[in-house]
Amino acid sequence: MKDATKSLQLKFLGSFFDGLGIPFLFDRKHKAHLEISDADVMLVLTSPFFPAVTSRREQAALFVDGHNCHPGYVKLKFQGEQHWLSVPGILVRDQNGDVCLSNRIMQNCVQNPMPGLEKLKILWKMLNVSFNGPAVSYKLPIFSGVKRNIVLTGDLVGSFAWNEFPHEAHEWLSRKRSSGWPSTEQVRTVKEFGCHLVPVANPGDRDSPTEWRISFVLGERHLALSLNQGQRRVYRIIKLIHKQRLGDLGVLSTYHLKTTLFWLCERIPQERWTEQEMGQRFYDFLDLLIDFLSKKCIPNYFIRENNMIDYMIEQLVNENVEILCEIRKNPKAILDEIKATYDLRFDLVEYLLSKTPFRDVLEELETQQVRAGSPEDKGAGDLLKVMREILIDSSENDSDSVLGAVGGAVDAFSRKDPDSPFKLMKEVGKGLLKIALKDKVEAKAKRTTHSACNDKHGTAARGKVDSPQTTNIAENTIQRKHVIVTDSIGQYLDGNRMGRSYVKVLREKTITDAHDYIIKSNLGNPESLTFIVGTISIDHQSVADTVEELHQLRQTAETKYPDCEMYFTGILNRQHNQSFNERAQRYNDLVQAELGGQQKVHFIAVNEVINSPDYYREDGFHLSRRGTSLLAQCLMDARTTAQPPSSTDRP
């Protein structure tokens, strides 16, 4: 029998993976415990157990029917022989008597894995699963220490891939957007992702066993990864407020917040999400959310007709509006609560690390206080101090170990190994343990070095030598000014002639391999990271998948080396291969457009310079000596353009 695990695809989703997660929060009352939430896993079931889901006009065992369903929801109606459905109780009849696939299938799959999927039982036991409607929640202890315990939490959701872009969402494809986001290329990529059908009924009809929700999770992740730092910062602040004050009220979910963010990003261009305008964007977000709730309508971002809160009790919705209005009047109060409740730890993207986030709001409040001088305004001036304590000062506490932990998690979850998904989970714990031990050793080494510097007549003068442990740490850290990670395209680059550059030629050539290298690397504090990758990736998979992998690589590199400039080269053409060159051009256009709005991230259009057959070897694929020299010059020119030369670069 064919190994059924090959028919099970895992998609790792949620804010933990798309860069929109809130900071790591240690509850001050239970400081030894940390939950990393929103690490969701989608299990995509495919053949041989289930045929691909298709539209009604095609002949298939399952077809999609959205008639008499809430917008954004459909039924999976069965057509044909039923003998291949070996799991009992997953076919039910709807009110019209049609045979439909039950949305309880995920519970059945977890409780009684289908033949060939028995390996999943090992995963379920390790994950400590619990049922939450059609979804299955899990808690995975990934690190247990003397002082801290870290638990990864999320949902396991079954799904079917629907390779069509549903007609209900066609308005999104042609929607006019004043901000220019998402771009035309991004819209086309999202359309290519299609959608998934997840076994979740409309909340207004929770007991319906036949409704499935149309989900655009891959498209949403693609869009989330294209957001700039300012957009992410504002969203995380809102999520912190939601966690502290709104989450338990049962009206607003984090998905409602992300939907609001996307709508706001369509209205306000990315260049206006700057540090100077951060405070105004914060208020814009609150205003839009309050407006949605006041109208009792949060429209789904892709399917506008899907009002995601139309089933809510109006009184509860109004209570949320009142709370948000109070928060808008006095954000200092809620920030005080957050600071008092949590010991903040920050996550994988530079999270609110600029020196003056919300600068305009804070300065305005201080100005009002000086002008008024009234008791009512006395607390306004304290907002600057509170925000800095919460959003800046706390970021310096133990951030390195947490950043490393996230890197380990991303490394494990990015591997494509559907045959043994539980192995990936286990690797996360190993990575965290290794990082925690390394942090302790490095901290001890720093204390030893500091002590020696402050005591010139101390241990060294008395004849004692440094600990071997300290020496090893210094030797094992590669201190390089510029690091170039390349596939075989750049294998002949000479780093010594490129301004103290270290060239790492990958044995395996894909973007995923570059990602794995960054996770395992210890490059010290490089000024720049340059990636010459993607040729092999695009040769074996779609442009959309390759771009998605590049986003994951960028995010991981930002996490591990947050202070360095990053450069991504375009994919070079191949001689006499028009089909490949068309895909390469599309990839280059998409990546260049998306990286253009990112801070400290640059695209190098090498194709515009290395454009002659004279620059290639006879195979038409690898660069000749002249081509390699030209590539090296392109990389150095890009560095010079992006940042002014340091004193060490000057002759």
Q: Name which of 505, 513, 489 is nearest 604 in CA terms.
A: 489
- Are the C-beta atoms of 66 and 74 separated by less than 8 Å? yes
Instruction: Say how many residues make up the chain.
Output: 651
| Dihedral sign (CA 175, 180, 181, 186) | positive
Does residue 202 lie in a domain region?
yes
**Domain at 261, CATH number:** 1.10.1410.40
Does residue 1 lie in a domain region?
yes
Q: Name which of 488, 589, 579 is nearest 539 in CA terms.
A: 579
* Low pLDDT (below 70) residues in the chain: 1-8, 23-35, 46-61, 80-89, 106-107, 109-123, 125-126, 131-135, 142-149, 206-207, 343-480, 508, 596-597, 642-651
The answer to whether residues 279 and 323 belong to one domain is yes
Does residue 233 lie in a domain region?
yes
| Dihedral sign (CA 124, 125, 131, 132) | negative
- Are the C-beta atoms of 489 and 639 separated by less than 8 Å? no
Does residue 244 lie in a domain region?
yes
Does residue 347 lie in a domain region?
yes
Q: Where is the domain boundary, 218, 247, 265?
A: 218
Into how many domains does the chain fold?
4
Range of the domain at 350: 227-354+358-391
Q: At what angle do helices 278-294 and 254-267 cross, to 10 degrees?
A: 120
**Distances from the Cα of 253 to the Cαs of 248, 256, 308, in angstroms?**
9, 5, 10
Does residue 402 lie in a domain region?
no
Q: Name which of 427, 423, 425 is nearest 435 in CA terms.
A: 427
Does residue 85 lie in a domain region?
yes
Classify strands 91-93 and 99-101 as parallel, antiparallel or unpaired: antiparallel
Q: Name which of 237, 235, 240 is nearest 223 in CA terms.
A: 235
Helix ranges (DSSP H) in 41-150: 105-111, 120-127
In the β-sheet with 501-505, what is the strand arrangement from edge to edge? 501-505, 482-486, 528-532, 565-569, 601-604
Tell me how many degrees the CA angle 572-578-580 measures, rounded to the nearest 5.
55
Q: How far apart are CA 98 and CA 549, in angstroms?
A: 41
The answer to whether residues 486 and 428 belong to one domain is no
Query: What type of residue sits at position 342?
Result: Y
- Are the C-beta atoms of 158 and 105 separated by less than 8 Å? yes
The answer to whether residues 537 and 593 belong to one domain is yes
Helix ranges (DSSP H) in 130-271: 170-174, 184-193, 217-225, 229-241, 254-267
The answer to whether residues 207 and 140 belong to one domain is yes
The answer to whether residues 324 and 374 belong to one domain is yes
pTM of the shown model: 0.57
Q: Name which of 551, 600, 546, 554 is nearest 571 in CA terms.
A: 546
**Distances from the Cα of 535 to the Cαs of 88, 545, 572, 631, 638, in angstroms?**
46, 13, 8, 15, 20
The answer to whether residues 57 and 169 belong to one domain is yes
By three-state DSSP, how is residue 346 classified?
coil
Contacts 24+ apart (CB under 8 A), 586-593: 586/543, 587/534, 587/538, 587/543, 587/546, 587/547, 589/185, 590/185, 590/186, 590/189, 590/543, 590/547, 591/547, 591/550, 593/183, 593/185, 593/186
The answer to whether residues 259 and 243 belong to one domain is yes
**Domain at 604, CATH number:** 3.40.50.1110
The answer to whether residues 172 and 272 belong to one domain is no
The four Cα atoms 264, 269, 271, 275 give a dihedral, to 10 degrees, of: -20
Q: Where is the domain boundary, 196, 218, 240?
A: 218
Q: How far apart are CA 474 and CA 441, in angstroms?
A: 11
The answer to whether residues 470 and 577 belong to one domain is no
Does residue 86 lie in a domain region?
yes
The answer to whether residues 190 and 45 belong to one domain is yes
DSSP state of 17: H
Q: Where is the domain boundary, 190, 218, 246?
A: 218
The answer to whether residues 470 and 518 belong to one domain is no
The answer to whether residues 238 and 157 belong to one domain is no
The continuous run of DSSP H or E covering 536 comes out as helix 535-540
**Domain at 175, CATH number:** 3.30.460
Region label for 600, one of left (φ > 0), alpha (ψ between -120 and 50) or beta (otherwise): left
